[in-house]
Amino acid sequence: MSDQHDQIDLLSYVDEAKTDAIHAFNVLRENGTLSASLTFHITHKIPGHDKVVNIRFPGGIARDQSPSISIANFSEKKDLILHEERLDADTVIHVHTSYLSAWSLAQKDFPILYVAAARHLLARTIPNHLDRTKGVLETIRARLDNHPELAPPPALLESSGGVNFWGRGILRTSELILLVEESARYQVYAEVVGGAQNYTPGALELQWKRTGLLEKSKEFAG
């Protein structure tokens, strides 16, 4: 009977995850966060189970944008970024957005200079995955090992491609995509009037105070 209840709970959880994913996809599609390809693929760790749910939207010009759903064993996905505990993440989303993808193509790290995004993040930059012969997990682990003074990044630009974001929950991670892509868009607009500037003294600390990250921010240099 216990196994039957666990199975019911698992199916119910996956159904809720699908609902969240569809909502996030529709919002990001309608507000222009997603690029024309509509690339938006989610992997989410199911709590209490050695399982991940993969939610993949067809994208492109598909008449039906309903996602496909699959379940896999978490422990067997050895290269999955969610195995890196220092990121405290249960969700990874591969996404293509117009302005962040431009930074990916430029093969440059993206500096987050927009307070609406920065107040939710301790990391100041999103690194670029330049050596694609190495996986995302290997690349991020090397960065965390080599630069413990830097806050763990919330994403990794896919050199010459899109972006991999991670976080807690499908909706929160999707909202982070919205905010960071908005930052990238505004920073491009700012080039017309001289370029986005670094924060004035105390500006970031004020933002972190509002979101409860101020004390945690003192653990990192950037």
CA distances from 140 to 2, 33, 118, 175 (A): 39, 25, 20, 22
For 73-86, write each residue's pLDDT tens digit.
999 999 999 999 99
Q: What is the mean pLDDT of the chain?
A: 96
Is residue 7's pLDDT more than 90?
no
Structural domains for the chain: 2-217 (3.40.225.10)
Cα-flanking dihedrals φ and ψ of residue 8, to 5°? -65, -45
Is residue 89's pLDDT more than 80?
yes
Please work out, in degrees rounded to the nearest 5, the angle formed at the alpha carbon of residue 150 by the alpha carbons of 145 and 151.
100
Alpha helices in the chain (DSSP H): 2-30, 98-106, 115-118, 136-146, 170-190, 203-211, 214-217
Distance CA(161)–CA(105), nearest Å, equals 6
For 166-198, write each residue's pLDDT tens digit.
999 999 999 999 999 999 999 999 999 999 999
Please work out, in degrees rounded to the nearest 5, the angle formed at the alpha carbon of residue 19 by the alpha carbons of 167 and 31.
70
Q: Which residues pair with 157 in a beta bridge?
A: 128, 163
Distance CA(161)–CA(96), nearest Å, equals 7
Point out the least confidently predicted range of 2-16, 57-71, 89-103, 171-185: 2-16
pLDDT at 5: 52
Mean per-residue pLDDT for 26-33?
98
Q: How confident is the model at residue 222 (pLDDT cuts 50, 70, 90)?
A: confident
